Structure 1
Amino acid sequence: LDDKGLYDLLVKLTNHFEGNAESPAAVKHMDEKYVADNMKAIVAFEIELIDIQHVFKLSQNRYEQDKKKIADELENRGILAEEMVK
């Protein structure tokens, strides 16, 4: 990316991860020299995805007794675990 592309990306990323453009951490609130100096340390690039592969497996090959042990252990761990067992 060129300098403008990097700057635009920084604006987009900080707005996304800080929640809004009015955050004190937004690029527009930063000192221009600070941003320019730190941009020199960033190597920005784009890549083109040509293929996406995935593996989808949810422990289908488990024995029922294994599933029961896992569910029991989750139940022993509390409220969040109870939701996971469902």
Structure 2
Amino acid sequence: MYIPKYYKVTNINEIWDFVKENSFGTIVTTRKGKPIATHLPLQLVQEGDTYFITGHIAYGNPQWRTFETSEDVLVMFQGPHAYISSSWYKQENVPTWNYQAVHVYGTASILNEEELKQDLTSLLQKYEKHRENPVLWDRLSPQLLEQELKGIVGFKIRVQEIQAANKLSQNRHEEDYQNIVNKLYEEKDINSQQMAQLMESKFKKEN
């Protein structure tokens, strides 16, 4: 991913927090020279000093068969994004787009059944524990679980390289920056609203 110096993120804790908060990612591999991708809920797992991205994919999805033969697997995570009109700048310029993104490269391997069960247990705990009637692993019938397990393949990707970008108008002076935030709040688009909140939050933390 091309990242100009203004927008490059190097703080690993900030990057992993972003991955956890935006964990519906895109996995990209190649099959016979052609890129293929799947959009999936993913988890970040730490084992000692090593990080893994884990998840599961439908057995009928041919992409899982490329995991162990692909030299590199790319996982992409994206946060809020929004169009930025240059009419919001004090001086003449061209429009642009603000966004957050993380690219993770690594090698993939297939989970055994026990590892897959543990990963699914953790996934359900993450998204269900706060609900009134949580659907947790130990509350589902063994028959249903056995049936569902036959239809999926678990995997983990050992993280080897991370690229992270926050393009949030950091190169604009304060007056332009504040005006961008205000104008984004006026937009009806939900992504613009989220970008305004993000930029406002970042500015308060850094000033």
TM-score bucket (shorter structure): 0.5 to 0.7
Give the alignment partner of residue 14 of structure 1, picking from 96, 108, 124: 124
| Secondary structure in structure 2 of the residue aligned to 1:38 | helix
- Residues matched between the structures, number: 82
Contiguous gaps of at least 5 residues in structure 2: 1-110, 188-193
The answer as to whether partners of 2:129 and 2:136 remain within 8 angstroms in 1 is no
Within 1, Cα distance between the matches of 2:171 and 2:134?
Answer: 50
Query: Which runs of at least 4 in structure 1 moved beyond 6 Å after TM superposition?
Result: none
Within 2, Cα distance between the matches of 1:10 and 1:68?
Answer: 43
| Secondary structure in structure 1 of the residue aligned to 2:154 | coil
Within 2, Cα distance between the matches of 1:30 and 1:63?
Answer: 55
Bigger-Rg structure (1/2): 1
Q: 1:27 and 2:137 equivalent?
A: yes
What is the TM-score of this pair, normalised by structure 2?
Answer: 0.32
Higher relative helix content = 1
Q: Relative to structure 1, is the Cα distance of residues 10 and 57 closer, same or farther in structure 2, using a 3 angstrom cutoff?
A: same
- Deviates further, 58-67 or 28-37: 58-67
Higher relative CO (CA 8 A, sep ≥ 6), structure 1 or 2?
2
Within 1, Cα distance between the matches of 2:170 and 2:123?
Answer: 38
Instruction: Give RMSD over aligned pairs.
Output: 3.2
Structure 1 position 25, deviation (Å): 0.6
Q: 1:4 and 2:137 equivalent?
A: no
Q: 1:55 and 2:165 equivalent?
A: yes
Structure 1 position 27, deviation (Å): 1.1
Q: Relative to structure 1, is the Cα distance of residues 5 and 58 closer, same or farther in structure 2, using a 3 angstrom cutoff?
A: same
Higher relative strand content = 2
Structure 1 position 67, deviation (Å): 3.5
Structure 1 position 57, deviation (Å): 3.5
Within 2, Cα distance between the matches of 1:45 and 1:3?
Answer: 11
- Superimposed CA distance per residue, residues 1-54 of structure 1 (whole angstroms, 9 cap, x where no aligned partner): 11111111111111121126xx54111111101001001111111111101122
Q: Relative to structure 1, is the Cα distance of residues 53 and 4 closer, same or farther in structure 2, using a 3 angstrom cutoff?
A: same
Q: 1:36 maps to which residue?
A: 146
Q: Relative to structure 1, is the Cα distance of residues 47 and 31 closer, same or farther in structure 2, using a 3 angstrom cutoff?
A: same
